[in-house]
Amino acid sequence: MNGIRRFWLRITDGMALGQLWSQFHADARTSYRLYSQEIDSRRMPGVGRVRHLFRMAKLFMWAIVDKLSPARRVLLLIALILFFPSMHLTGFAGSGIFWGCILLFVVLVLEIADRVVMKRDLQIAKEIQAWLLPPSPPQVPGLEIAFATRPANTVAGDYYDVFPRPATHSSGGTYLIAIADVAGKSIPAAMLMATYQASLKTLSGISSSLLDLVGRMNNYACSNSQNGRRFTTTFIAEYDPATRDLVYINAGHNPPILRRQTGAVERLSAGGIPLGIQENAPYESGRTTLQSGDWLAIFTDGVTEAENIQQEEYGEARFMVLLYANQKETPQVLLNTILNDINHFVGNTPQHDDITLMLLRAV
């Protein structure tokens, strides 16, 4: 019995049956979305329900087969030919069923080998991406800060950072606050996120206004955006602790929520179009002053557009309720509260977009 228990623990990695079912459910939904994204599920005029179901099964089967390499498709075809006509035979070892199962197992082993190699490469990419993001918020006079990100896949296209601006830090001390969302997900978005980080760090070292900084970043992004298809929405602000002034530019990003200590709400929307769409695009800057007790919430659309199993979005209204109800908490506590609430709302529904949230409180 101990041997069986050890075997089962190794197979399940110590997970309970409920956890295994939740994982299977999430994996099945993710796989279905992968295979069905190129299938037109609309029923043709005059086509009956049964015929439509057979058509959908055929399209879904081809969607699976098309994901295999040509050599593996041939192995799968041979396995099916050996397997199905042999169903009436009695001897398992000497029948086509046996060899069909062997070929199916070979296809499975080859697919697992690809997955292991890809997983290893993605893990390396994840570690590199983690180096590009700050591990913890810096100490900024007059501000308490908390931030976090949750990629939809192993790597993400979201970026966030708070750091002293080298060009002005020695003469007064301002800080850049940035959050960005590259169009798309996974590896392509992560690579463009890395170029965004590099251009921001490099160009912020040049003594210039925030408008000049964003203009140069946009021109650089246009040279790497595949004619505007890989654009980046971003919110960039420069904070001066001496005056508490916040100068910002919103380049097509979700307008951050500024909740005043009085309860009034402002949206920081001044700016322009996302980076990478139009070279030399015009941008305007906004300005506000943070007073003690004010909250600033900066987020990507993955927060408000998180969906549950009914395809309902989390929404800004629910987000605002938590922002109002927890104004006396620290940013880190409120951050954890919001992320836990998103988890509760979403349940087992696979995450379809990167989630990034930054909270700042003026003290």
Per-residue model confidence (pLDDT) at position 287? 96
Q: Do the domain assignments include residue 2? A: no
Q: Do the domain assignments include residue 210? A: yes
Cα–Cα dist 210/204, whole Å: 9
Question: CB burial class (10 A; 0-12, 13-18, 19+) of residue 113?
Answer: exposed
Higher pLDDT, 333 or 99: 333
Confidence tier at 251 by pLDDT (50, 70, 90): very high
Closest CA to 184 of 215, 212, 224, 145: 224
Residue with tokens 């058509």: 55
Question: For residue range 260-308, what is the model confidence (pLDDT) as tens digits?
Answer: 998 899 999 999 999 999 888 999 999 999 999 999 999 999 899 998 8
CA atoms within 13 A on the CB side of 91: 4
- 160 and 128 in a common domain: no
H/E element, 233: strand 232-240
The token duo for 350 is 């696979």
- 146 and 125 in a common domain: no
* Helices within the chain (DSSP H only): 2-12, 17-36, 49-66, 70-83, 96-132, 166-169, 186-203, 210-222, 301-304, 315-325, 331-346
Q: Is residue 95 classed as helix, strand or coil in its secondary structure?
A: coil
Per-residue model confidence (pLDDT) at position 169? 43
Cα–Cα separations (whole angstroms), residue 336 to 101, 256, 260, 348:
48, 18, 21, 19
Query: Kindly report the CA angle at 161 between 319 and 121, in degrees rounded to 5?
Result: 100
- 319 and 273 in a common domain: yes
Give me the number of domains the chain comprises: 2
- 283 and 242 in a common domain: yes
- 296 and 266 in a common domain: yes
Question: For residue range 110-154, what is the model confidence (pLDDT) as tens digits?
Answer: 776 667 666 776 676 677 777 778 888 999 999 999 999 888 776
Question: For residue range 68-124, what is the model confidence (pLDDT) as tens digits?
Answer: 788 877 877 777 777 666 555 555 445 667 777 777 777 777 776 667 666 776 676
Q: Do the domain assignments include residue 58? A: no
The one-letter amino acid code at 314 reads Y
Q: Do the domain assignments include residue 235? A: yes
- 152 and 194 in a common domain: yes
Phi-psi region of 163 (alpha: psi -120 to 50; beta: other; left: phi over 0): beta
192 close to 230: Cβ distance less than 8 angstroms: yes
- 154 and 96 in a common domain: no
Confidence tier at 170 by pLDDT (50, 70, 90): very low
Cα–Cα dist 337/205, whole Å: 36
Q: Do the domain assignments include residue 346? A: yes
Give the residue numbers spanning the domain of 248. Answer: 141-362
The token duo for 229 is 């298809």
The one-letter amino acid code at 132 reads L
Q: Do the domain assignments include residue 197? A: yes
Using only the alpha carbons of the chain, give its radius of gyration.
Answer: 26
Q: Is residue 355 classed as helix, strand or coil in its secondary structure?
A: strand
Q: Do the domain assignments include residue 345? A: yes
- 174 and 273 in a common domain: yes
Q: Do the domain assignments include residue 43? A: no
Q: What is the CATH number of the domain that holds 314?
A: 3.60.40.10
Q: Assess whether pLDDT exceeds 70 at residue 183.
A: yes
- 145 and 107 in a common domain: no
For the whole model, what pTM was predicted?
0.72
Sign of CA dihedral 92, 96, 101, 102: positive
- 74 and 160 in a common domain: no
